[in-house]
Amino acid sequence: MAKAITYKDAGVDISANDRMVELISRNVRRTHGPRVIHLHNAFAGLFRLDYDEKLFQKNYRHPVLVACTDGVGTKIKIAALMKTYHTVGIDLVAMSVNDMLVQGAEPLFFLDYIAVNRLEPEQINEFVAGISEGCCQAECALLGGETAEMPDLYRPGEFDLAGFAVGVASRHRLITGMYVEPGDSVIGLASSGLHSNGYSLVRRICFEQNRFDVHDAFEELGETLGEALLRPTRIYARAITGLLQRYRVKKVVKAMAHITGGGLVGNIPRVIGDRLDVVLQADKWPVPPIFAFLAARGPVQTEEMYRVFNMGIGYVLIVRPAFTRSVMAHLRQLGETPYFIGKVKRGSGKVILKGG
C-alpha cells in the first residue's frame, strides 16, 4: 500500500502558517485604533467608518470611499539579494497610500498579499513588521492580509507583494484638479531616494552592465549600493492630511500628484488638464546622489532620467499663489522638506523643465 501523502509533501506547510500567524499578530494589532472591530478568528476585517463616541468622534459629510492597489515592482529583487525584507513592507504601504492622498482622502485601512515559494514564519514576520511600520506612519490600520505558499509558481527565494488601501473623503472636499489655473504655485516635497519605481532600469545598469554587488560601497553614495537602493519610499500621509485639515474652509490646495513611474513629466499632467502647462525650475531642489550615480553608470540621458525617476521630488502640490509661503511653512512644521519648484501657465497639458 502506498504511503499516504500530505499537503506538506506537496510543498505547503500548514503548521508553519499557524506559527506565522502567532508571530505577526503583535505587528498587526499595533496599527489598530478605536475604529477597528475585533473578532477572534474572523474571516474578514471590520472597520467603522463613522462613530459617535464623545472621545473619538469622527464623522463625514457625504463620505466617499477611495481605494488603491499597488505592488513594489522589481525592487523586491534587491530585497531578496540583501535578505532584507522590512523596507519593502514600508514601500508597499507607501505606494497605495500616497496615491489616495492625491484625491484628498484620509487613509483608513490596508490589506496585504504575500506570495512565497516556501513559508518561513520569520521572513513573513519581517515583511509584516515593515507593513505595520508603514501603516503607523500613514496612521491607518493593518486590517488583514493573505500569505500564499506556492512552490510550483515561485522558485526558492522568490516572492511577491501586493497591497490594498481604502480611505475616505467628504465629497465636497475631494481634490480633482479642476480648479487649477495659470499663476498657481507648484510645491515639491523631497523624496527619500528612488522610492519604488524604475528598478528594471536600475538593475540593468547596476547588475547587468556594471556587475556591481549590493554590498559594494561607493564614496559618492556614502553607503553601500544595496542600502541606497532599498531605502523605503517616503509616506506623506501625516503631512498631507494635516495640511488639508488646516485649510478646511478655504480651498488652498487645488491639485496634487504622487511622483511614481513616469516621473515629474508623466504624473503632473494627470492633474492639470490639457489646457495648462507646468513650468518646473529643476535647479530649485537638490537631487539625491543615487540619481547622478545611475545617470553616469548607464549612461542615461537627462530627459530619460526625468521620465523614469522622481529625481528627488516624491510628491507635488499645486496651490493658490497667495498661500505658497504659509503652505510651505506648515509642511515644514509637519516634518516635510518642501521646495517652491514652479508655476502653472496656459498650455497643452505638459511639464516644461528648465534649469536642470
Give the Cα separation of 310 and 287 in Å (integer): 9
Only one residue has cell 500569505, namely 147
pLDDT reported for residue 57: 55
Cell of 149: 505558499
Nearest to 290 by CA among 193, 212, 196, 355: 193
Give backbone dihedrals phi and psi of 217, rounded to 5 degrees, phi first.
-100, 140
What digits encode the pLDDT tens for the residues 205-262? 999 999 999 999 999 999 999 999 999 999 999 999 999 999 988 889 999 999 999 9
Q: Is the dihedral of CA 34, 32, 232, 68 positive or negative?
A: negative
Grid coordinates representing 279? 513650468
Q: Using CA atoms, how far apart are residues 150 and 106, in angstroms rounded to an integer?
A: 35
**Percent of the chain at pLDDT exceeding 90:** 81
Give the mean pLDDT of 190-197. Answer: 97
∠ CA(289), CA(294), CA(300), 5° rounding?
Answer: 125
Length of the chain: 356
Exposure of 330 in the CB half-sphere (CA atoms within 13 A): 18
Give the C-alpha separation, 351 to 349, whole Å: 7
The reported pLDDT for the residue numbered 58 is: 67
Pick 14-38+60-170's CATH classification: 3.40.50.9100, 3.40.50.300, 3.30.1180.20, 3.30.1330.10. Answer: 3.30.1330.10
| Start-to-end Cα distance in the chain | 75
Q: Is the pLDDT of residue 120 over 90?
A: yes
Side-chain-facing half-sphere of 295: CA atoms under 13 Å: 18
Q: Given a cut of 60, is residue 55 above it in pLDDT?
A: no
Each residue of 15-24: pLDDT tens digit? Answer: 887 888 888 8
Q: Return the domain boundaries, the chain.
A: 14-38+60-170, 185-354
Report pLDDT for 20: 84
Rounded CA separation 80/93 (Å): 19
Q: pLDDT tier at 43 (50, 70, 90 boundaries)?
A: confident
Could you please state the CATH topology (level 3) that the domain comprising 185-354 is classified under: Phosphoribosyl-aminoimidazole Synthetase; Chain A, domain 2 (3.90.650)
Helix, strand, or coil (residue 37): strand
